[in-house]
């Protein structure tokens, strides 16, 4: 057992030991960018965050030349950095956006579901990019396009203006046509906001595009008339990629407007999706599952003085966006965030190894009930991954968990969970160390579960909540309680 723990330590922490002797091993204080902290010419940079709802990475032609037609996003990639393995924290909108805006994973910022009595709003005490930049003198504004990026989830905090789409979910946690706006209307609103910005103050603008997530609002008729379906036929995937191309057109119009104001050259531009859609991969069309097509997202960053045309193959997370922006804005990241600045990667330097976490809390979300009729095994799914391996852990059905060797099997076709016990246990231990679990139902309408905590390597005995195995010292993981199982408490709890 001690030998196995030593291998685990070396596997995941050896890179930290190597980097401890380099400058990139520790998080910097005030950033020293190519423009001298907040800008070598004294001008603090503007920040434009563009988030896309439900857009897969391979829907951008800079990721997959056959995937779509996105010349404006491709141009951004050539001007800055394209991250080839960027992982989001959830395959639903509100928690994923919360991680983008806070630099924290879902179990840290507290927004876990779309529709419930609790765990459905960003707490007021969690700092966001808007509150952090606003406190340092940035003007802060947002234009969002769908209900799941609205004030209903607490996203307006820190913004001086927040132009969103407001409505109420129905009893099933669903929304309708009136709960979204098309990309051209969003761009019009964003351009008006750009024109109103004071010239002597740096600004942060968040613009959110919804269109590709569903087919409720079609692109402008003239856009459809002038283009053919990227798949060569009128089908769901072709329509999806057409809508991504429409978003790209409107993003181009937004960037042209930014250039017309004279602010573009001093603007950090971040384009990221909150999650992707299945489109038939793994026999699933929608979202709420955690395969790579859902949690692997496009991420592009360009800015003043930053390297152009870079491709980063190493793993990054959407929680890394906040500290990266703060670094290039000349600010230090606050304590308590999980994200790490990606500036070293962007500048061609070695950086610390990252671990990504994601989750799907479907059974305790009114909006998730429909998908469970087709995928009942996905009540709860917790994901942990590095660049090589990925675990999808199901605490209610632990033996139906999945483990993929991404380096050899990027499309996740061959499940190794029961065949590769060493990696399975190692990644379960990482979950045990992180403790990402949502244990109590977020409202009386949901049934509670009789949970137990067990050793990842020896699951015969149960331990006290959030404790460690008395035999091997590993952090215990969440599983359903089994009748007749022996309960062993840790010494701290009393035996």
For the chain, how many structural domains are there in total?
Answer: 2
Residue 352 has pLDDT above 60, yes or no: yes
Last residue of a domain, one of 299, 334, 352: 352
- Rounded mean pLDDT of 278-296? 94
Distance, CA of 359 to CA of 448 (rounded, Å):
18
Within this chain, do residues 340 and 367 fall inside the same structural domain, yes or no?
no
- 126 is written with which tokens? 């969690």
Q: What is the pLDDT of residue 23?
A: 35
Q: What is the pLDDT of residue 170?
A: 59
pLDDT confidence of 94, banded at 50, 70, 90? very high
Sheet holding 402-405, edge to edge: 356-361, 380-385, 389-393, 402-405
Within this chain, do residues 335 and 478 fall inside the same structural domain, yes or no?
no
| pLDDT tens column, 315-330 | 999 999 999 999 999 9
Within this chain, do residues 369 and 404 fall inside the same structural domain, yes or no?
yes
The answer to whether residue 3 is domain-embedded is no
pLDDT confidence of 420, banded at 50, 70, 90? confident
Q: What is the pLDDT of residue 5?
A: 41
Within this chain, do residues 421 and 374 fall inside the same structural domain, yes or no?
yes
Residues 90, 289 contacting (CB under 8 angstroms): no
Within this chain, do residues 280 and 331 fall inside the same structural domain, yes or no?
yes
Domain of residue 127, CATH code: 3.40.720.10
The answer to whether residue 13 is domain-embedded is no
Within this chain, do residues 292 and 193 fall inside the same structural domain, yes or no?
yes
Domain of residue 433, CATH code: 3.30.1120.10
Residue 434 has pLDDT above 70, yes or no: yes
Within this chain, do residues 262 and 180 fall inside the same structural domain, yes or no?
yes
Residues 249, 223 contacting (CB under 8 angstroms): yes
More confident of the two residues 31 and 120: 120
Last residue of a domain, one of 352, 379, 405: 352
The answer to whether residue 4 is domain-embedded is no
Residue 421 has pLDDT above 90, yes or no: no
The answer to whether residue 17 is domain-embedded is no
Q: What is the pLDDT of residue 343?
A: 97
Last residue of a domain, one of 323, 352, 381: 352
Within this chain, do residues 322 and 388 fall inside the same structural domain, yes or no?
no
| pLDDT tens column, 360-397 | 999 999 999 899 999 999 999 999 999 999 999 999 99
Q: What is the pLDDT of residue 231?
A: 44
Q: What angle do CA 165, 168, 173 make, to 5 degrees?
A: 115
DSSP 252-303: HHHHHHHHHTT-GGGEEEEEEES----TTGGG--SSSS-SHHHHEEEEEEE-
Strand pairing class (477-480; 451-454): antiparallel
pLDDT confidence of 40, banded at 50, 70, 90? very low
More confident of the two residues 327 and 233: 327
Residue 192's H or E segment, with its range, is helix 183-195
The answer to whether residue 217 is domain-embedded is yes
Alpha carbon 260 to chain centroid distance?
31
Q: What is the pLDDT of residue 391?
A: 98
Within this chain, do residues 194 and 57 fall inside the same structural domain, yes or no?
yes
Among 111-120, 182-191, 231-240, 278-287, the least confident range? 231-240
Within this chain, do residues 313 and 414 fall inside the same structural domain, yes or no?
no
Q: Which domain holds residue 391?
A: 357-488
Q: Work out the mean pLDDT of the chain and round it to a whole number.
A: 87
What percent of the chain lies above the pLDDT cut of 90?
Answer: 74
Within this chain, do residues 338 and 361 fall inside the same structural domain, yes or no?
no
Residue 274 has pLDDT above 60, yes or no: yes
Within this chain, do residues 289 and 322 fall inside the same structural domain, yes or no?
yes
The answer to whether residue 495 is domain-embedded is no
Q: What is the pLDDT of residue 222?
A: 82
Could you report how far apart the first and last alpha carbons of the chain are, in Å? 23
The answer to whether residue 394 is domain-embedded is yes
The answer to whether residue 7 is domain-embedded is no
């Amino acid at each position: 057992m001690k030998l196995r723990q030593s291998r685990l330590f070396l596997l995941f922490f050896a890179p930290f030991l190597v980097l401890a002797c380099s400058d990139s091993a520790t998080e910097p204080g005030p950033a020293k960018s190519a423009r001298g902290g907040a800008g070598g010419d004294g001008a603090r940079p503007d920040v434009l965050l563009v988030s896309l709802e439900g857009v897969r990475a391979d829907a951008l032609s800079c990721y997959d030349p056959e995937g779509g037609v996105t010349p404006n996003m491709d141009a951004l990639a050539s001007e800055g950095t394209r991250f080839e393995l960027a992982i989001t924290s959830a395959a639903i909108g509100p928690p994923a956006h919360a991680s983008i805006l806070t630099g924290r994973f879902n179990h840290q910022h507290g927004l876990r579901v779309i529709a419930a009595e609790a765990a459905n709003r960003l707490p007021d005490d969690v700092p966001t990019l808007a509150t952090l930049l606003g406190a340092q003198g940035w003007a802060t504004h947002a234009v969002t396009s769908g209900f799941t990026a609205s004030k209903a989830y607490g996203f307006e905090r820190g913004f001086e203006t927040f132009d969103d789409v407001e409505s109420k979910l129905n009893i099933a946690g669903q929304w309708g046509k009136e709960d979204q706006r098309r990309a051209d209307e969003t761009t019009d609103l964003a351009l008006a906001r750009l024109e109103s910005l004071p010239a002597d103050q740096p600004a942060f603008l968040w613009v959110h595009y919804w269109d590709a997530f569903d087919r409720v609002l079609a692109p402008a008729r003239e856009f459809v008339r002038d283009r053919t379906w990227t798949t060569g036929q009128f089908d769901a995937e072709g329509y999806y990629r057409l809508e991504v191309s429409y978003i790209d057109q409107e993003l181009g119009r937004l960037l042209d407007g930014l250039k017309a104001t004279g602010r573009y050259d001093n603007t950090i531009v971040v384009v990221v999706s909150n999650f992707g859609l299945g489109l038939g991969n793994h026999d699933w069309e929608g979202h709420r599952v955690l395969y790579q097509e859902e949690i692997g997202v496009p991420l592009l960053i360009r800015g003043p003085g930053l390297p152009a045309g870079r491709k980063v193959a190493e793993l990054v997370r959407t929680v890394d966006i906040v500290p990266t922006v703060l670094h290039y804005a000349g600010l230090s990241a606050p304590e308590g965030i999980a994200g790490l600045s990606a500036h070293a990667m962007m500048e061609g330097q070695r950086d610390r190894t990252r671990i990504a976490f994601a989750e799907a809390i479907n059974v305790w979300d009114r909006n998730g009930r429909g998908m469970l009729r087709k995928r009942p095994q996905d009540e709860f799914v917790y994901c942990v991954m590095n660049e090589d391996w990925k675990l999808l852990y199901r605490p209610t059905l632990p033996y139906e968990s999945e483990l993929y060797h991404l380096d050899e099997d990027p499309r996740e076709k061959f499940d190794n969970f029961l065949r590769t016990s060493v990696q399975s246990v190692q990644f379960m231990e990482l979950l045990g160390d992180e403790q990402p679990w949502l244990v109590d139902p977020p409202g009386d309408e949901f049934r509670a579960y009789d949970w137990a905590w067990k050793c990842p390597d020896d699951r015969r005995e149960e331990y006290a909540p959030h404790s460690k195995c008395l035999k091997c010292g590993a952090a215990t993981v969440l599983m359903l309680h089994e009748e007749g199982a022996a309960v062993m408490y840790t010494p701290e709890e009393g035996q």
